[in-house]
Amino acid sequence: MFNDLTFYSPEFLWLFLLLPVFLFLNYFYGNRKISFLKISSIKGFNHKTLKIKFLPFLDIFRYVAISLLIIAIARPQIVDVSTQTKTSKGIDIVIAVDVSSSMLAQDLKPNRLEALKSVAKEFIKDRVSDRIGLVVYAGESYTKTPVTSDKAVIIKSLDEINFDGVIEDGTAIGMGLATSVNRLKDSKAKSKVIILLTDGVNNSGFIDPSTAADLALSFGIKTYTIGLGSNGNALAPIAINPNGTFRYGMTKVEIDEKLLESIAKQTGGLYFRATDNERLKDIYQEINKLEKTEVEEFKYSNAQEMYRIFALISFFLIFLEWLLRSTIFKSLL
């Protein structure tokens, strides 16, 4: 009951410092009020000695009553605080994922594509107030999921992304960016963001990446670009076996970092390089911090006054002390 007890006027609790003073004064002056009767002999009494022991529990009543009264003056309360959050218009985000065969390279574990999906999933879960869409691209591009606030749908779509040969192999960065811009150009969100990830150089598609970046800029869409892949060589698919599986071999990691930096700079975003799983995770966390949705929090408190309980117990103890002193213990005082 009293676990959440607070005091509206805690400064009155300093009155507890006066209790030792009252104790001292009561002891010092109380003894001076005692009347003594001196007699020459007690032979007339039936007992040899007459002892009356009186424990000062009536005084205890008084000091407990004073303590409770001090607590009552400090206005104890049980405060129930409830919060309500209000978010402004959130951010619309499109994640553009490169699904070319090179995304199966194993310099990130278990491979680049699976590492990306794992990190992106956590990023999506953290964007509670935002809408997110998915675009996939290789030699061409298409919308996997339109911009939506249904995180379950987005994560399910993300899990379904694989290199399956449905679209032509290659890396059409301009196509992927242009498709992402198309998903966001009519958005009414206060901020529009594209996170474009690739592990190669632009070698496919009929839209130049610079042209796509100009489109993003004209619609006020900020683009964060991520180059995915270790420095040097990586174990990646180099051929397809007769049974349809990939044959792996060491290939040079080639990322057009100048192009990605140019796209990011032109649209007001940033370029990042992810060389391992941890760095990729850090990049998404950094973007998560950079693109914050404003949240306004309202707090409502309901105070239940408890001083009446302490005051009533205090008055009862004062009355009880007076009653006992006036009746049962009157002859002993």
Q: What is the pLDDT of residue 223?
A: 97
**pLDDT, tens digit, 9 for 90 and up, residues 144-192:** 999 999 999 999 999 999 887 667 889 999 999 999 999 999 998 889 9
The parts of the chain modelled with pLDDT lower than 70 are 1-4, 27-57, 81-89, 165-166, 293-300, 329-333
Where do the CATH 3.40.50.410 domains begin and end in the chain? 89-293
Q: Which CATH number fits domain 89-293: 3.40.190.10, 3.20.20.10, 3.40.50.12780, 3.40.50.410?
A: 3.40.50.410
Q: What is the pLDDT of residue 52?
A: 45
The answer to whether the beta carbons of residues 197 and 173 sit under 8 Å apart is: no
Q: What is the pLDDT of residue 50?
A: 45
d(CA 3, CA 302): 16
**pLDDT, tens digit, 9 for 90 and up, residues 279-320:** 999 999 999 888 876 545 556 677 788 888 888 988 888 888
The 10 Å CB-count burial string (b at 16+, else e) for 224-254 is bbbbbbbeeebebbeeeeeeeeeeeeeeebe
Tell me which amino acid residue 111 is. Answer: N
The Cα-based distances of 54 to 63, 317, 329 in angstroms read 17, 19, 9
Q: The pTM is what? A: 0.63
d(CA 94, CA 1): 50
Q: What is the pLDDT of residue 53?
A: 44
What are the φ and ψ backbone dihedral angles of 110, each rounded to 5 degrees?
Answer: -75, -25
d(CA 146, CA 133): 5
Q: What is the pLDDT of residue 212?
A: 97
